[in-house]
């Protein structure tokens, strides 16, 4: 007969997992090179727990499965093939997008930091394609890899558009001298290459984007 008592909560039976497949995988993973420090510590911990309790909790089992899948022979071979196919052109795109995401947190912030701090680091294929092959990334990469529209030392005119914001807005319709182009593209809009300009008659330079400039009319050249 079931009953309820105030303050009494019947114990919930937790599902646990065991079996020869788990034991074999734990043994294989415990001696495997290439595990991250966290993965290695986790496997060591649950292996000791398994010896004591002859099973894993549901949470332990779920995490264990992910690690086991990551390091099965087929997936190891896929990662090796991916690493061997990683080209200098892909590295260039990766670093362009790492700088972009670092300037536009929070997406990929940790991954971007690792890419920029370790020139030999190769992300997973999934992470690379997610970072570098979406439509916004394609715009950023294309803008970064094309030649600047305005060369250093040339003259340009700030467009007289109400869409222009920031410090450059006060110079709408005015001429500027192009000084240089900062390396990092931080906007996915077309023509968003950063450009440093010095408005004629001004003392301080301003960083804006090429899309807010236009060629000097022939009558003013």
What is the pLDDT, as a whole number, of residue 11?
58
Q: Give the pLDDT band of residue 32 (cuts 50, 70, 90).
A: confident
Average pLDDT over residues 46-73: 92
Q: Give the pLDDT band of residue 33 (cuts 50, 70, 90).
A: confident
pLDDT for 118-175, tens place per residue? Answer: 999 999 999 999 999 999 999 999 999 999 999 999 999 999 988 898 899 999 999 9
Nearest to residue 56, comparing CAs of 24, 14, 18?
A: 18
> Whole-prediction pTM value?
0.74
- The DSSP 8-state label assigned to residue 210 in this structure reads G
pLDDT for 184-219, tens place per residue? Answer: 999 999 999 999 999 999 999 999 999 999 999 876
What is the pLDDT, as a whole number, of residue 34?
83
Structure tokens at 86: 């990683």
Between CA 61 and CA 182 the distance in angstroms is: 49
What is the pLDDT, as a whole number, of residue 10?
53
Q: How confident is the prediction for the chain on average, in pLDDT? A: 90
- The DSSP 8-state label assigned to residue 150 in this structure reads S
Nearest to residue 68, comparing CAs of 30, 12, 11, 16?
A: 30
How many helices and strands in the chain, by DSSP H and E? 8, 7
Checking if the pLDDT of 4 tops 50, the result is no
Nearest to residue 49, comparing CAs of 35, 37, 63?
A: 63
């Amino acid at each position: 007969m079931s009953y309820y008592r105030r303050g009494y909560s019947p114990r919930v039976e937790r599902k646990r997992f065991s079996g020869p497949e788990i034991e074999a995988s734990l043994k294989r993973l415990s001696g495997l090179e290439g595990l991250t420090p966290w993965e290695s510590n986790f496997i060591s911990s649950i292996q000791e727990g398994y010896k004591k309790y002859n099973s894993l909790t549901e949470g332990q089992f779920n995490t264990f499965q992910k690690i086991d899948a990551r390091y099965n022979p087929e997936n190891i071979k896929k990662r090796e093939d991916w690493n061997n196919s990683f080209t200098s052109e892909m590295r260039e795109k990766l670093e362009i997008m790492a700088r972009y995401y670092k300037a536009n947190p929070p997406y990929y912030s940790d991954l971007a930091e690792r890419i920029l701090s370790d020139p030999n680091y190769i992300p997973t294929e999934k992470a690379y394609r997610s970072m570098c092959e979406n439509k916004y990334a394609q715009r950023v990469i294309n803008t970064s890899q094309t030649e600047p529209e305005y060369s250093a030392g040339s003259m340009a005119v700030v467009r007289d558009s109400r869409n222009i914001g920031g410090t450059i807005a006060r110079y709408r319709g005015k001429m500027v001298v192009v000084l240089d182009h900062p390396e990092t593209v931080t906007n996915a809009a077309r023509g968003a290459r950063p450009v440093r300009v010095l408005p004629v008659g001004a003392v301080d330079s301003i960083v804006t984007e090429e899309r807010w400039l236009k060629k000097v009319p022939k009558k003013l050249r």
